[in-house]
Structure 1
Amino acid sequence: MKTYRCWIFGLVAILFIGCEKDDSYSSKVKSVVSSDILPYSVKIQTKLDMPSVSESVKERGICWSTLENPSYPQASKTYLLDQSGENEFVSTITTLRANTQYFIRAFAVTESGTMYGNQIQVTTPDYLLFNAGVKYGSVTDNDGNIYKTVTIGEQTWMAENLKTTHFQNGEPIPNITNSTEWNLNYTRPAYMWYGNEKSDSIYGAYYNWIAASDERNIAPKGWRVPTKADWKKLLDYTKHNSIVLRESSTAHWYVEGYYPGSNDTGFTLVSTGIAMGDYSSGLNMNWTILWTREGDVNAAKAFGALIQLRDADFIEVQTNHGYPIRCVKE
């Protein structure tokens, strides 16, 4: 039986597959990881160098997964290339998630079996994908953090989630990281980071409603935490269509091909989930909740703006839940 020696060179992902006839089968691997990786896609250049032998390549492509050694066709995702055309081609893996580790291998299927290239490991970066066609302004919060702002209709909103740790008067907001203390904290302001890992740019801080509604004002000067009326004005303007509010990539939304965001408004909303002390859930899924100022401290209930894949509306939640804040200009 014929056997082949196979080697693959990868520059992520630039993957080169070569095979030569030999008496024994072995694989030689050499790879270099490129830094040119987006949080939602990776460009793949593949060169398939097969000698003139009796066996031809039946199928070829790239397979990838969050698990090691992805294989075709068992991998969670496979890009099966068109069998026509030249043996050198460029393709793009899309619908990746931000800040996620992936394993990628090229493959070629012949009569003797499936040959794989070396496994390449990449981690997608994490950053917001703003709308390049929208004119943004800026605002500085109580900690000196600078945010993009965007005008939608008659309102001007922050285009990023708030991450200040102080009120306007300079007094600090308590940082509570223990679930027991957080869950019992219905009357004191508090904030935390998702998973208790500080986020400097993407998800912002997670505040309880007491912090969001505190009279010392958590928002930058000249801004406020939105009321239900503020949110209603925005949602009415966009016809409650969340697609135009959401970041236009799969990096921070679990859409699986359904209802991807367009970010036509430039609002650049990401899916943030919920955080309460050392409990966090729902990050990068298919919903997000942001605080309004409306609530009842005695009933421990407050309103948030619920943004899902296709629509947006209000939801009543507990005041000790931790959610992000988007401020609106006064």
Structure 2
Amino acid sequence: MADKWMNSIGIIGGGAMGLLLAGYLSEDRKVTLYTRRKDQAELIQQNGISILSGGEEHIREIKASDGKQYEEDTLFITVKQFHLDPVIQNLKEREGKKLIFLQNGMGHIEKLQELSGHAVYPGTAGHGAQKLTDRAVRHNGQGVIKICSFAESSLEELQHLLPARSPLQFQFEQDWKHVLEEKLLVNACINPLTALFRTENGMLLDNPFFYEAFKTVYKEASAVLDSKFDIALAEEVCRNTAQNRSSMLQDAEKRNKTEIDAITGYLLKEARKKHLSVPLLEFLDTAVKGLTENDKHGIKHFL
């Protein structure tokens, strides 16, 4: 069985990034997409994945399953942080796989240390992607998927396995902490504000009042992380994904749980350790949780 699945790829998670990765990677390799729901897996199995990009639609036939066998040699884990625990528990019972984790925030890092026997790679996805249906995703902005070495995991095998070409553009990094803190800072500047203001990423730069909030979040988050990242980094992501609706905004609009705990929650925990005052981050953490709580009860917003 191991030989059959050697160098094949599994994608765990049928959200926007899972659909995007599965669709593009299936062009020239064996890919299985693992979903939480049987009806989504059956829909993709029957009709393929639809990627909308540049005004064109691309259909990719792909294997999809709601099972938990995870037989492939290389696995991308794209589920959100609050869905990670059962996946990690499953993987702890296996060994010898290459596991690439693409989550927002940094709350999952401690959990990755439990996966002995695997080569573990935390990473970040810089693409703008919007899930339209259970089988359709819109590619709103191209970026880079950074994959990092972790606990002495070698990057050499992955560099041979994964393409460096567009549209996915994989990049391999040794310093996982630097890469994840960089993405965390960008997520903190964009995701909570877009969810609160109910707007696309680019409006955070175009609206002068939104931009003032953007700059304040950057200042507070940078102090917490003790980082030297320039605000131009977060601004560039906003421009490159100007039409994208952040994952947090999409979740809030669908009345789904957001990853606010993985982003502002993590920063607030670190701020308390350092005795730092971060009032806007505290407000955003409370406000986004309040939005989704209201949504659950069908309370209408003023926006």
The bucket for the TM-score relative to the shorter chain is under 0.3
TM-score when normalising by structure 2 = 0.27
Which structure shows the higher strand fraction? 1
TM-score (norm 1): 0.26
Q: Whose radius of gyration is greater, 1 or 2?
A: 1
Structure ranking higher in helix proportion:
2
